[in-house]
Amino acid sequence: MGPFLLRQITLISNASAGGGRAGRRARDLANRLVSRELSVDHHPTNSADEARQVVLDAVASSCECLCVAGGDGTIRNVLDLVASTDTPLAVLPSGRGNDFVRAIGGPSSVDRVAQAIQCMAIRRVDLGAVNGSLFATVAGCGLDAEVGRLTEGGSAFGSTAGYLVQAIRSISSFLGYVIRVEVDGRVVWDGDTTLVACANTSTYGGGFMIAPGADPTDGLLDVCVIKRVSRIKALSLLPQLAVGEHTGHPDVTFYQGESVRITSEELLHAVADGDVVGQIPLQITTRASVLDVITECS
């Protein structure tokens, strides 16, 4: 028996993602899907609202597969529309970060994405929600939110090296905040803080390994709290954070839970999937097993 062929695939591409790379890769993918005798409807989009409307229409028409060409921010824009539906999500990684694809074991090349869509190897994964808004990788506040705020819409947040550069620049003026963190209703931290990161996946910022133990299938958030440290110590800690070697550091603590509440008397921005999404107070929760994703063929 030959492979099961889908009747219809909806492909959306973010025209600005990856400096135009998403559009080019999406066109290549569409051609490869057609060569595999699959039906594909490609929608290049120029705005978040346009992409959301395409996804709404696709889900309403019982599309067999939604494929998104872009980065983590492009994915986050449509998560609430595809989560908890029967429409599986495939990702053609074309942004500057692509942490979610790595976390779920998704393919990276155009040809392997086409093969995966044809095979339909589906994995169910968790998402997070910050003040009700879904995210795929990491949400939090503090230094990383300052990095996200400074680089939003730019090119530096999408690689480990780029994140480090922006973090170093932010540290020069960053003073830290007094933050209170509750995990599953229990106060675990209340004091001077550099950052709080609530992780569904182990990396963000293009491979920055903030929570090495995070697993997007365990129904839990991994919470990393870094207390306020001197600028010199922060600079020495950053390379350890980048590669996940900070788990035993005396200024770093980890927690796990289903619900995290973050409060402060100071005005703090929040970041999720590399984008600024609002301000404190934050209620961050896990949404277990709500998204079907297409992964590498076995």
- pLDDT band, very low/low/confident/very high, at 221 (cuts 50, 70, 90): very high
H/E element holding 114?
helix 110-119
β partners of residue 130: 133, 284
Q: Is 80 exceeded by the pLDDT of residue 65?
A: yes
| CA distances to 125, 279, 291 from 65, in Å | 16, 34, 12
- pLDDT band, very low/low/confident/very high, at 234 (cuts 50, 70, 90): confident
H/E element holding 181?
strand 177-183
Location of each CATH 3.40.50.10330 domain in the chain: 9-120
Where b means 16+ CB within 10 Å and e means fewer, 173-208 reads ebebbebbbbbeeeebbeeebbbbbbbbbbbbbbbb
Q: Is 50 exceeded by the pLDDT of residue 153?
A: no
What's the pTM?
Answer: 0.90
Mean confidence (pLDDT) of the chain:
89
Residue 167 tokens, joined: 């973090």
- pLDDT band, very low/low/confident/very high, at 161 (cuts 50, 70, 90): low
Location of each CATH 2.60.200.40 domain in the chain: 133-289
Q: Is 80 exceeded by the pLDDT of residue 155?
A: no
Angle between helices 72-82 and 48-60 (to 10 degrees): 40
CA distance 274 to 172: 21
Specify the CATH class of 133-289 in words: mainly beta
Q: Is 80 exceeded by the pLDDT of residue 1?
A: no
Tokens 């289903």 belong to residue: 258
Among 34-38, 118-122, 148-152, 184-188, name the most confident range: 184-188
Q: Could you tell me whether strands 40-45 and 65-70 are parallel, antiparallel, or unpaired per DSSP bridges?
A: unpaired
- pLDDT band, very low/low/confident/very high, at 156 (cuts 50, 70, 90): very low
- Average pLDDT on 71-88 reads 94
Superfamily of domain 9-120: Probable inorganic polyphosphate/atp-NAD kinase; domain 1 (3.40.50.10330)
- Average pLDDT on 242-254 reads 94
pLDDT digits (tens, 9 = 90+) for 19-31: 788 899 999 999 9
- Average pLDDT on 273-281 reads 90
- Least confident interval from 161-175, 261-275, 281-295: 161-175
| CA distances to 178, 182, 191, 227, 263 from 187, in Å | 14, 4, 11, 15, 11
Q: Is 70 exceeded by the pLDDT of residue 43?
A: yes
- Average pLDDT on 196-208 reads 93
- Taken in order 174, 236, 164, 203, the sign of the CA dihedral is negative
